[in-house]
Amino acid sequence: MTPRVMESRYMQWAKQHVHVSYNLATSGLMSYPLSRLPVRLEDLEITGNSFYGYLPLQEALARHCSIGADRIFATLGTSLANHIAMAVLAGPGDEILIEDPGYELIVATAGYLGAVVRRFPRRPEANYQIDPGDIASRMSPRTKLIVVTNLHNPSSALTSEETLKEIGAIARRSGARVLVDEVYLDAAFDITPRSAVHLGEEFVITNSLTKVYGLSGLRCGWVLAEPSLIRRMWLLNDLFENIPPHATERMSVIALEHLDAIRAWSKGILDENRKCAKELLAPREDLECFFPVYGTVMFPRLMHGSVDTLYQHLLSRHDTAIAPGEFFGLPDHFRLGLGGTPESFRTGVMRLCAALDSLP
Ligand SMILES: Cc1ncc(COP(=O)(O)O)c(C=O)c1O
């Protein structure tokens, strides 16, 4: 029997790099300052009426997602959203088909749930676009769930509605579901497509305000699905948390009311950093870069040498961190986070260039 997964190597690694001066390893926006949110002490309370959903938060999320509140399960970040959604949709021995490269925590969670993990490729040479044929050819009668991220972590590639519909049709034919983690989708800004939840009942969506809006500490996450599944998620959630942290539920309502301003702040930072990344990295012959049009991260390939050497060198001599591609399944790549202040991002990328120049 395969030993049950009880940890995430990626998460352990990620939590050790927060003290680096130039942290290019993070996937979300820098923290949105509390002082810019119009929160007054009298708006907060320690405990409230949060039983199977705090009504003002359910209503604010319903407006944000253009969906009925009975199709929303509010939870702690996309992490717990993914965990609970996957636990409701697949059990021990069921197959879960997950994109590769992909977010390690999704793979680890599937393993923890006792599912059999199978992978389908998102090829760098196809700019990480999904070929639905790769999914169809890996489906079996035991496949209960197909998991994709949109935008894709680690490449930020956008999956079109047409492709998602094709994946939905493949799932429907087998009685499976499609979990789309949309935590980065709003970073497509002006062209953000509607959530895949609107494409059919086989779609289950997870999301949060943590990445694109720099509100990680609020832990405002959610699942969108048909009401019967949402009810099962609320009930399973009883095994994890009695009631949610109410003060952050109230702050999340305020954040959702001011999301336009936060979105403009986030877009300004990402536009500038994306331009800087292109200016400094595109001319380099030692990197192969897919420059995503949207998103908070990019995933360059190191053409020669080892990413581990580059990573150690950056850390020890340049006080700078990147996320090694081995965590996502492509060890000759590394992930670069675009969400830092433009000044620190530029300095971090210049240090990356200096480290590349000094590699053998
Ligand atoms: C695809 C994906 N889903 C979920 C998460 C976790 O998000 P949260 O902080 O909302 O729990 C991450 C974090 O990096 C991620 O990349």
> Which residue is it, tokens 């989708």?
185
Whether the CB of 221 sits within 6 Å of ligand 1: yes
Does residue 183 have its Cβ closer than 6 Å to ligand 1?
A: yes
> Is 137 buried (19+), middle (13-18) or exposed (0-12) by CB count in 10 A?
exposed
* Whole-number Å distance between alpha carbons of 239 and 172: 30
Report the alpha-carbon distance of residue 88 to residue 227 in Å, rounded. 13
Q: Are strands 220-224 and 203-208 parallel, antiparallel or unpaired?
A: antiparallel
Q: Are 128 and 329 in contact (CB under 8 A)?
A: no
Burial class (CB in 10 A: 0-12, 13-18, 19+), 247: middle
pLDDT(169) > 90: yes
**How far does the centroid of ligand 1 lie from the alpha carbon of residue 202, in Å?**
22
Mutating to test ligand 1, I would choose from 76, 103, 215 the residue with most ligand atoms within 8 A of its C-beta, which is 103
Q: How far is the CA of 260 from the centre of ligand 1 (A)?
A: 21
pLDDT for residue 18 is more than 80: no
Ligand 1 centroid distance, CA of 106 (Å): 9
CA 28 to ligand 1: nearest atom: 14
Residue range 74-132, pLDDT digits in tens:
999 999 999 999 999 999 999 999 999 999 999 999 999 999 999 999 999 999 999 99
Best residue among 17, 32, 75, 79 to mutate for probing ligand 1, ranked by most atoms within 8 Å of CB: 79
Which residues have CB under 8 Å from 114's CB, separation 6+?
A: 4, 91, 92, 93
Q: Is the pLDDT of residue 17 over 90?
A: no
Q: Is the CB of 206 under 6 A from ligand 1?
A: no
Tell me: pLDDT of 2 over 90: no
Q: Is the CB of 216 under 6 A from ligand 1?
A: yes
pLDDT level of residue 16 (50, 70, 90 thresholds): confident
* Number of residues in the chain: 360
Q: What is the mean predicted confidence (pLDDT) over 129-151? A: 98
The reply to whether ligand 1 has any atom less than 6 angstroms from the CB of 27 is yes
Q: Is the pLDDT confidence value at 1 over 90? A: no
pLDDT higher than threshold 90 for residue 175: yes
Asked if pLDDT for residue 360 goes beyond 80, the answer is no
Q: Which helix (H) or strand (E) holds 349?
A: helix 342-358
Tens of pLDDT, residue by residue over 42-72, are 999 999 999 999 999 999 999 999 999 999 9
pLDDT digits (tens, 9 = 90+) for 176-191: 999 999 999 999 999 9
Residue to probe by mutation, ligand 1, list 99, 153, 181, 183, most atoms within 8 Å of CB:
183
Ordered DSSP codes for 213-282: TS-GGG-EEEEE--HHHHHHHHHHHTTT-SS--HHHHHHHHHHHHTHHHHHHHHHHHHHHHHHHHHHHHT
Average pLDDT, the chain: 97
CA–centroid distance, 79 to ligand 1, in Å, is 6
pTM of the prediction? Answer: 0.98
Q: Measured in angstroms, how far is the CA atom of residue 171 from the centroid of ligand 1?
A: 24
In tens, the pLDDT along 309-332 reads 999 999 999 999 999 999 999 999
Q: What is the CA radius of gyration of the chain?
A: 20
Answer yes or no: is the C-beta of 103 below 6 A from any ligand 1 atom.
yes
Residue 4 scores a pLDDT above 90: no
Position 256 scores a pLDDT of 98
**Cβ–ligand 1 contact at 207 (below 6 Å):** no
**For the chain, give me the number of helices (H) and strands (E)?**
11, 14
Cα 72 to ligand 1 centre (Å): 18
231-267 pLDDT, tens per residue?
999 999 999 999 999 999 999 999 999 999 999 999 9
CA of 149, closest atom in ligand 1? 1
| Distance of alpha carbon 287 from alpha carbon 298, whole angstroms | 12
Q: From the CA of 76, give the closest atom in ligand 1.
A: 11
Q: Can you tell me the distance from the alpha carbon of 191 to that of 3, in angstroms, rounded to the nearest whole number?
A: 43
What domains, with CATH codes, occur in the chain? 9-30+260-358 (3.90.1150.10), 43-257 (3.40.640.10)
Mean pLDDT for the stretch of residues 273-278: 98
